[in-house]
Amino acid sequence: MKTVPGLVYLLDDEPSLLVALTRLLQTEGHVVHGFTTPAAFLAAYQRDEPACLVLDVAMPEIDGLEFQQILRQAGLLVPIIFLTGHGSIPMSVRAIKAGAVDFLTKPVEATDLLRSVDQALQRATAQGRILREATELTRRLAQLTPRECEVLRHIITGKLNKQIAADLGTGEQTIKVHRGRVMEKMGATSVADLVRIAQKVGLGPADVAASV
């Protein structure tokens, strides 16, 4: 598997370990930022860039698993790889269930760490792409007029223009114009496209009962 270089954050209260891990990760071309305190990490974290976090479980100020919760609650979905001196199985299960990529034991093998970092970065990239797309679609949706939005909600139920026109009480021609504008603004080429986009942005179909 070819490694894709990415941004890696390290959080461990032991500076020497940060240095060693940085060196290791840099050999694979990653950009590494090391922090000894959670506060320093939070101050430096860029949420727009895909990145992962290698996190020490046992830190003086805060427990690693607790910090994971805090990040989730803050909506920071950075993929986390845990490092621990002496982890227990319940602890690792908890971490993984909460979304951690991996739970590694110190001393950590380079291959294990690098593989986990790759996975995490891929997840981050994927998450980033989804996020970007969602942002774009939301932006496009915001460009629709309320009438166009109404028409869109009817289109994704699979109705024909004539049916929509009847439902909305206008002419079929008018609906046709609206449909054309919606397709254009949302960047869709087909009704199927529109349905997928509507799903992504969380837009529900129009009230079907009213149409019967």
Q: State whether residue 35 is helix, strand or coil.
A: strand
Q: How far apart are CA 49 and CA 15, in angstroms?
A: 25
Cβ closest to another protein, residue 62 vs residue 160: 62
- Tokens 């294990």 locate to 112
Contacts made by residues 156-164, CB under 8 angstroms, sequence distance 24+: 156/191, 156/194, 156/195, 156/198, 156/203, 156/205, 157/205, 157/206, 157/208, 157/211, 158/191, 159/211, 163/211
Rounded to a whole number of angstroms, the minimum distance from the CB of residue 73 to another protein is 17
Residues engaged in binding another protein (CB under 8 A) = 14, 16-17, 19-21, 23-24, 26-28, 58-60, 63, 83, 85-86, 106-110, 113
Cβ closest to another protein, residue 108 vs residue 151: 108
Rounded to a whole number of angstroms, the minimum distance from the CB of residue 15 to another protein is 10
Rounded to a whole number of angstroms, the minimum distance from the CB of residue 14 to another protein is 6
Rounded to a whole number of angstroms, the minimum distance from the CB of residue 50 to another protein is 23
Residue pair 112/79 in contact (Cβ under 8 Å)? The answer is no
Q: How far apart are CA 144 and CA 167, in angstroms?
A: 20
Cβ closest to another protein, residue 20 vs residue 134: 20
Rounded to a whole number of angstroms, the minimum distance from the CB of residue 58 to another protein is 5
Cβ closest to another protein, residue 16 vs residue 73: 16
Which tokens is 49 given? 């860039």
Cβ closest to another protein, residue 63 vs residue 133: 63
Q: What is the 3-state secondary structure (H, E, C) of 43-61?
A: HHCCCCCCEEEEEECECCC
